[in-house]
Structures are given as structure tokens and as C-alpha cells.
């Protein structure tokens, strides 16, 4: 009986999903389902769940990965029920329901068809591309040229260039793209170090087209500067200006950057900036 139950548990999902099975395995499985009410109930439950997933798939902007339900119920139900194989057929509907909840929570506004871009990650990635010579930079030397460049490349808002000491050189501008979203990038040079600035309206974050870690976001809302040491050399900082969220990635030390930008000492740090 134990071997029979284990056989059904192992192959039931494949039968429901229409996956290839050896003819002998399929015949035995179908016979057991027909003869045993418990196995038949498991089969009907999984069929109902698969049908629900198919009906929901069109409404989910982020389709639930095929193995997501397995990961969910492994983590959530292992301790409670003392094992997976024993409870798999019974708990499968619960597992998939949990996966559906996760998928539903990922659904954003109907007007958007792409995942929200992480502002900090985009800034860090663009900076590393800049260091490697992979970021396409258009040389500009003044504010007017910067704004004209961004307008030509589909940036719909004005970028607020912060004050920089005369020792900081404006080098150029670039647009960093991910799917259909574009972020303006302003490139500066301070001696041997790069300074990369990006900005976006706060409404873009409220509309969930962009997102920022809550630690940085809360500091921005409090009109404070938030500092983060991304690695041993790369420093990122975020702040709010008018209705904009601004960010800088640089290898310039935090204290020197504050002096270059005449930043007030009151700021928030994640404890890694020096």
C-alpha cells in the first residue's frame, strides 16, 4: 500500500499536466485512480487547480513560474506537517493558492506592462558600465545642452543639476534603459573619480514604475541624504529635491563628496558609508 501511494504521489502531477509518461506507468496510474476514491480525489483537486491557473494566467502580468508552488509549500508547510511527500497530493491546492497570491501581489497598475525598475540597481549598474567604458556617453558642457539631450532621448522631465565645486567637471549625459523605461544619467569627473547622477520624479515611484529600498525612500521623504556603501569602492547616496528623487554613484569618499556638493552634515546612513 505504501509503495502504491508513493507511486501515485510521484507521477500524479505529470499525468495532470499532460507530461510524457511511459505507457505502462500511465496505464497503472489511471487504473489506480479509477479504483481508489482517495487517488481520484487527489486527481480531481489537481485538475481543478491547473484549470484555475490557466484561467488566471491571462490576468497575471507576471506568470507564476512552474516550480514556484513547489518552493512555496516546501518552505511554508514542511515544519507544520512534518514532511513533503506524505502531504503533497493533499496540500497541492493550498500550495498553488499560495503561488497565486504571490502572483497577484506582483500585479501592478493595469497601464504598466513591465516590472518596476529598481532605481538604486540601475544607478549602480550604469556606474559599473561607465567604469568599464560600456556606457554610451554624449559629451555636453553646460546645463542647456544636458536638458536638450534628455528631451531628444525621450526623458519627459527636467533634470535638476545639483551644485558642484568648480573642480568637478561636467563630462556628458547618457540614458540608461531597461525594457521601456529610461533614466537620465549625468556624468561628472572629479580628478580620477567618476560621479554619476540620476534623477526621477517622485510620482514615478508612487505609480510603481520605479522603486527604492525603504531605508533610502524614508530618508528621501524626510529630506535627508541616505548613504550606502555598495562595495569596497562604490558609494551611493540618495536624496530628495523638490518633487524629485536624486541619486549618485561614485568612487569619491563620502566626506569629499559632501564637500564637493556642499551637503549639510545632517544625513542618514546605512552604517557602511565612511
Q: Is the pLDDT of residue 157 over 50?
A: yes
Q: Which residues contact 73 (CB under 8 A, 6 or more apart)?
A: 84, 91, 92, 94, 95, 98
pLDDT at residue 77, as a whole number: 47
Residue with cell 513591465: 114
For residue 201, the model assigns a pLDDT of: 94
Domains of the chain, each with CATH number or no CATH: 2-106 (no CATH), 117-269 (3.30.200.100)
Residue 128's pLDDT band, with cuts at 50, 70 and 90, is very high
**DSSP H or E run through 254:** helix 254-261
Residue 188's pLDDT is what? 95
pLDDT of residue 199: 95
Partners of 210 in beta bridges: 117
pLDDT at 30: 87
- pLDDT above 90: percentage of residues in the chain: 26
- Taking the C-alpha atoms of residue 229 and residue 233, their distance in angstroms, rounded to an integer, is 8
Write phi, then psi, for 107 (nearest 5 degrees).
-75, 125
Give pLDDT, residue 141.
85
Range scoring the smallest mean pLDDT among 32-46, 72-86, 214-228: 72-86
Beta carbons within 8 Å of 114's beta carbon, 6+ residues apart: 179, 180, 181
Degrees to nearest 5, angle at CA 7 with 5 and 11: 120
Q: With a cut of 60, say whether residue 176 has pLDDT above it.
A: yes
Question: Residue 21 pLDDT > 80, yes or no?
Answer: no
CA distance 105 to 102: 5
Of the candidates 66, 85, 75, the one whose C-alpha atom is nearest the C-alpha of residue 16 is 66
* pLDDT mean over 228-239: 86
pLDDT of residue 238: 93
pLDDT given for residue 10 in this prediction: 84
pLDDT for position 92: 56
Check whether 136 has a pLDDT greater than 50: yes
pLDDT of residue 246: 93
Q: In this predicted structure, what is the pLDDT of residue 213? A: 83
258 compared with 76, residue with greater pLDDT? 258
Among 130-134, 206-210, 250-254, which is the least confidently predicted range? 206-210
Residue 248 pLDDT level (bands cut at 50, 70, 90): very high
pLDDT at residue 88, as a whole number: 54
Q: At what angle do helices 37-57 and 23-35 cross, to 10 degrees?
A: 110
Q: Looking at residues 219-225, what average pLDDT do you find?
A: 87
pLDDT on residue 130: 93
The stretch 193-208 carries a mean pLDDT of: 92
Cα–Cα distance, 175 to 181 (Å, whole number): 10
Amino acid at each position: 500500500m505504501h509503495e502504491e501511494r508513493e507511486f501515485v504521489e510521484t507521477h500524479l502531477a505529470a499525468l495532470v499536466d499532460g507530461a510524457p509518461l511511459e505507457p505502462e506507468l500511465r496505464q497503472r496510474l489511471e487504473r489506480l485512480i479509477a479504483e481508489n476514491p482517495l487517488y481520484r480525489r487527489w486527481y480531481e483537486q489537481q485538475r481543478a487547480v491547473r484549470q484555475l491557473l490557466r484561467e488566471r494566467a491571462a490576468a497575471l502580468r507576471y506568470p507564476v513560474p512552474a516550480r514556484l508552488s513547489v518552493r512555496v509549500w516546501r518552505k511554508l508547510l514542511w515544519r507544520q506537517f512534518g514532511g513533503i511527500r506524505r502531504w503533497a497530493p493533499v496540500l497541492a491546492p493550498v500550495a498553488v493558492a499560495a503561488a497565486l497570491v504571490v502572483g497577484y501581489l506582483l500585479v501592478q497598475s493595469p497601464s504598466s506592462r513591465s516590472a518596476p525598475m529598481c532605481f538604486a540597481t540601475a544607478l549602480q549598474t550604469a556606474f559599473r558600465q561607465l567604469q568599464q567604458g560600456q556606457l554610451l556617453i554624449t559629451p555636453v558642457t553646460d546645463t542647456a545642452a544636458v536638458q536638450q539631450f534628455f528631451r531628444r532621448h525621450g526623458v519627459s522631465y527636467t533634470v535638476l543639476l545639483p551644485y558642484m565645486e568648480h573642480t568637478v567637471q561636467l563630462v556628458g549625459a547618457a540614458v540608461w534603459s531597461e525594457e521601456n523605461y529610461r533614466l537620465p544619467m549625468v556624468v561628472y569627473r572629479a580628478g580620477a573619480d567618476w560621479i554619476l547622477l540620476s534623477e526621477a520624479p517622485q510620482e514615478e515611484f508612487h505609480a510603481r514604475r520605479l522603486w527604492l529600498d525603504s531605508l533610502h525612500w524614508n530618508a528621501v521623504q524626510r529630506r535627508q541624504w541616505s548613504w550606502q556603501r555598495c562595495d569596497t569602492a562604490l558609494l551611493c547616496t540618495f536624496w530628495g529635491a523638490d518633487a524629485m528623487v536624486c541619486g549618485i554613484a561614485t568612487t569619491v569618499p563620502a566626506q569629499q563628496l559632501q564637500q564637493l556638493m556642499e551637503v549639510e552634515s545632517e544625513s542618514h546612513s546605512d552604517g557602511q558609508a565612511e
